[in-house]
Amino acid sequence: MKFLAEIEILPKKGLLDPQGKAVTHSMPSIGLNNVNEVCVGRFITMEIEAASEAEAHETADKASKKLLANLIMEQYKIRITAL
Amino acid sequence: MKFLAEIEILPKKGLLDPQGKAVTHSMPSIGLNNVNEVCVGRFITMEIEAASEAEAHETADKASKKLLANLIMEQYKIRITAL
C-alpha cells in the first residue's frame, strides 16, 4: 500500500529561532498587529510503500531521525495518510 | 481569543524541487528503499489574537500572501486551532 507522510519540523521550544523572530517583527509592517510567537521550520512530504500504516510511520520516523531533523535543536511530528 | 495558525508551504506540483530530489536520492543510503516523491517546504506557526476563527484565518492568509509564501512557485495550506 501507498501512504503519504507529512513531517512538521520546528525548532525546540526555548531554543533560538532567529527566522521566527524576524518574521514576528515584520508583521506590523504588513498591517498585522495581532500576530505573535512566529516559529519557522520545515515541512516535508513523501510517498512511502509499506504494508501498514504503522510500518509507514516507522519509515518516516527513521527518515526524520537519520536525515531530516536535527534532534539537538529540532522536534518533529509525523502524520500518515493512506493514498 | 487566541488562535494557533499552522501554515504548510510546499513547492507547486510540477515545479522544480531540487531539495526534495536530493532527499529522495539520499533515502537508499540510510537503508530506506520504499520512499519516493519527497517534497521539501516550510512549516510556520504563529499565535493570532482575533475575535473568531474566520478572522484568525484571514490574518494567517494575509501573512502567507504578503510575507511567507512565494505564490509564483509555492502553495500553502492553513490550519487554525483555538488556544
The per-residue pLDDT for range B26-75, each reduced to its tens digit, is 999 999 999 999 999 999 999 999 999 999 999 999 999 999 999 999 99
Which chain B residue's Cα is nearest to A60?
B35
CB B56 within 8 A of CB B50: yes
Instruction: Please report the pLDDT score of residue B14 as a whole number.
Output: 85
Residues in B closer than 8 angstroms to A27, CB to CB, are 63, 67
Residue-wise pLDDT tens digits, A56-82: 999 999 999 999 999 999 999 999 999
* Rounded Cα–Cα distance for residues A69 and A61 (Å): 10
Residues in A closer than 8 angstroms to B78, CB to CB, are none
* Rounded Cα–Cα distance for residues B66 and A50 (Å): 39
Fold entry, domain B2-82: Mth169; Chain: A , (3.30.1280)
Residues in A closer than 8 angstroms to B49, CB to CB, are 34-36
Alpha helices in B1-83 (DSSP H): 18-26, 53-63
Sorted by sequence, the CB contacts under 8 Å of residue A61 that are 6+ apart come out as A78
* Rounded Cα–Cα distance for residues A8 and A74 (Å): 10
Distance from CA of A55 to the nearest CA of B (A): 11
Instruction: Indicate the DSSP class of residue B13.
Output: T
Total residue count of chain A as it appears in this document: 83
For chain A, domain boundaries: 13-42, 45-83
Distances (CA, A) of A26 to A44, B56, B63: 25, 18, 10
Q: Is the pLDDT of residue B18 over 90?
A: yes
As for the ipTM of the complex, it is: 0.93
Q: DSSP strand E in chain B: where?
A: 2-11, 35-49, 74-82
Evaluate if pTM is beyond 0.90: yes
Instruction: Please report the pLDDT score of residue A15 as a whole number.
Output: 87
Residue-wise pLDDT tens digits, A6-60: 999 999 988 889 999 999 999 999 999 999 999 999 999 999 999 999 999 999 9
Q: Write out the residues of chain A at the interface with chain B, using a CB-CB cutoff of 8 A.
A: 6, 8-10, 23-24, 26-27, 30-32, 34-50, 59, 62-63, 66-68
Instruction: Please report the pLDDT score of residue B16 as a whole number.
Output: 87
Which chain B residue's Cα is nearest to A66?
B30
